[in-house]
Amino acid sequence: MRREVKQDTTYQPGFLFIPFGVYAPADVQRSRHRYIPDGVELVLGEIDRVDADANKVLLADGRELGYDYLVIATGTTPRPDQTPGMLGSQWRKSIFDFYSLDGATALTGALAAFDGGRVVVHVTDMPIKCPVAPLEFTFLAEAYFRSRDMRDRVELTYVTPLPGAFTKPIASQHLGSMLAERKIEVEPDFMVERIDDEKKALISYDEREIPFDLLVTVPLNMGAAYVGRSGLGDELNYVPVDKHTLLAKAHDNIFAVGDASNIPTSKAGSVAHFGVDVFTGNFCQHVEGKPMTGRFDGHANCFVESGDGKGLLIDFNYETEPLTGSFPLPVVGPFGLLRENTRNHWGKLAFRWMYWHLLLPGRPIPIPAHMSMAGKHQPAAAPAAAMKE
Ligand SMILES: Cc1cc2nc3c(=O)[nH]c(=O)nc-3n(C[C@H](O)[C@H](O)[C@H](O)COP(=O)(O)OP(=O)(O)OC[C@H]3O[C@@H](n4cnc5c(N)ncnc54)[C@H](O)[C@@H]3O)c2cc1C
């Protein structure tokens, strides 16, 4: 797949809000040049291949970049081309995605023009970046149709390859009951084989058929194609690394940070940030020939927008699943873990500012890289249904 290398960088979490008119495309794009510190050479170009034996990165335009150490940070990309029928006659007519800026922008018009019928929100396969984003889209769509006084004319279904709403049991139970409260059908364990664009239906390998008038899909997510071509990736082009140091298993001078690696936690901007916090110290030790002492714990921290100006927060790592409680401080919070409130919604919106002004310029943020148990309730205390404030 050929990739256009853009001058702009995007705030991908903002794509969620574009279809609902909360953000315009210009709100989530900025020139990447301003974030590159002095003394760092910025080379814009598509990577075609890495020659790990010769320590070279080969660009598609023929340029070659030699390296002593390579840090792969090319993320993961939605690949609608991987599901038969997805890019057929209904693509961007009644089939949309919001994981790309173009897709989110096109969906704005389709949602505004939608007059009722079957809306299906669909996840092709895991892992995807920000695994809560399709749930957030579903909650926001439900609230949006209510606000347009047409909820009774919309049948809303959430189709997932998982056995429940989310990957981890306690969060899955909370988020699943929120779907049920909003009268959103869930179709679990659905492995899509193809899309029949004449019938306008998702077809699974076990021959279930889900018709739609409007399909909002999260296509298969894959690491960059050059990772596969270079023999550096697994079957989804993610780089196998040590999950605590992010050092590639097969190469002592290659690291993979952010979504590009195969670490067993959510693919998320928060994980990319916390992981890099640990990586920087380790990298300096590694270059000096010393053992790496930092151990990344898989920390993820994600606000989950739930509609009507509310949201939840989840905070977890490799060992601890998302739990109920308050964050970052016990009792006072101010944010609620797996608990809907308006503060979480404002936290989510404030993150765009933090992204441009703290995260991208590399300034510290007030959340430590390693997960803390402060404020978290142990599983036995977790209630069955989502609490509300
Ligand atoms: C809709 C949506 C909502 C999200 N919401 C949240 C959220 O609420 N919280 C959260 O923490 N995370 C969220 N995320 C996930 C978050 O955006 C990503 O996890 C994060 O951007 C990963 O950072 P990264 O640097 O690893 O990869 P990216 O930010 O994807 O950057 C990868 C870069 O590599 C470049 N690249 C790829 N291939 C090549 C190539 N061959 N040659 C040259 N360049 C290449 C790309 O152009 C890109 O600039 C969301 C994502 C989406 C899509």
Give mean pLDDT in consecutive 10-residue pieces for the chain, a chain of 389 residues: 68 98 97 90 96 98 98 98 98 98 98 98 98 98 98 98 91 95 97 97 98 98 98 98 98 98 97 97 98 98 97 97 94 92 96 95 91 89 47
C-beta separation of 335 from 347 below 8 A: yes
Beta bridge partners of 43: none
**Residue identifier of the C-alpha nearest atom 43 of ligand 1:** 46
Residue 151 CB burial class (10 angstroms; 0-12, 13-18, ≥19): middle
Quick one: which atom of ligand 1 is closest to the CA of 9? Answer: 49
Residue 333 contacts by C-beta under 8 Å, 6 or more apart in sequence?
326, 327, 343, 375
**Ligand 1: centre distance to CA 50 (Å):** 20
The vertex-168 CA angle with 234 and 175, nearest 5°, equals 125
Is 200 close to ligand 1, i.e. is its CB under 6 Å away?
Answer: no
**Is the separation of the CB atoms in 320 and 368 below 8 Å?**
no
- pLDDT for the residue 81: 98
**Hey, what amino acid is at 127?**
P
- 226: three-class secondary structure by DSSP: helix
Tokens 């058929």 map to which residue?
209
Which of 5, 9, 12, 28 for a ligand 1 pocket mutation test, highest count of atoms within 8 Å of Cβ?
A: 12
Q: CA-to-CA distance for 268 and 258, rounded, in angstroms?
A: 7
Nearest CA to ligand 1 atom 16: 269
Plot region of 138 (φ>0 → left; ψ -120 to 50 → alpha; else → beta): alpha
* H or E stretch at 342: helix 342-354
The whole-number pLDDT of residue 34 equals 87
CB 302 within 8 A of CB 132: yes
φ, ψ of residue 280 to 5 degrees: the values are -60, -45
Separation of CA 230 and ligand 1 centre (Å): 21
Query: Tokens 């609490």, residue?
Result: 387
Going by CA atoms, what residue is nearest to atom 33 of ligand 1? 74
The CB of 344 under 6 Å from ligand 1? The reply is no
Query: Ligand 1: which residue has its CA nearest to atom 27?
Result: 75
* pTM for the model: 0.95
d(Cα 352, Cα 347) in Å, to the nearest integer?
9
Pocket flag, ligand 1, residue 128 (CB < 6 Å):
no
Q: Is the peptide bond before 334 cis (omega within 30 degrees of 0)?
A: yes
How far is ligand 1, taken at its centre, from the CA of residue 292, in Å? Answer: 26
| 295 C-alpha to ligand 1 centroid (Å) | 23
Question: DSSP per residue over 275-289, as a string?
Answer: HHHHHHHHHHHHHTT
Instruction: Check pocket membership of 34 for ligand 1, CB cut-off 6 A.
Output: no
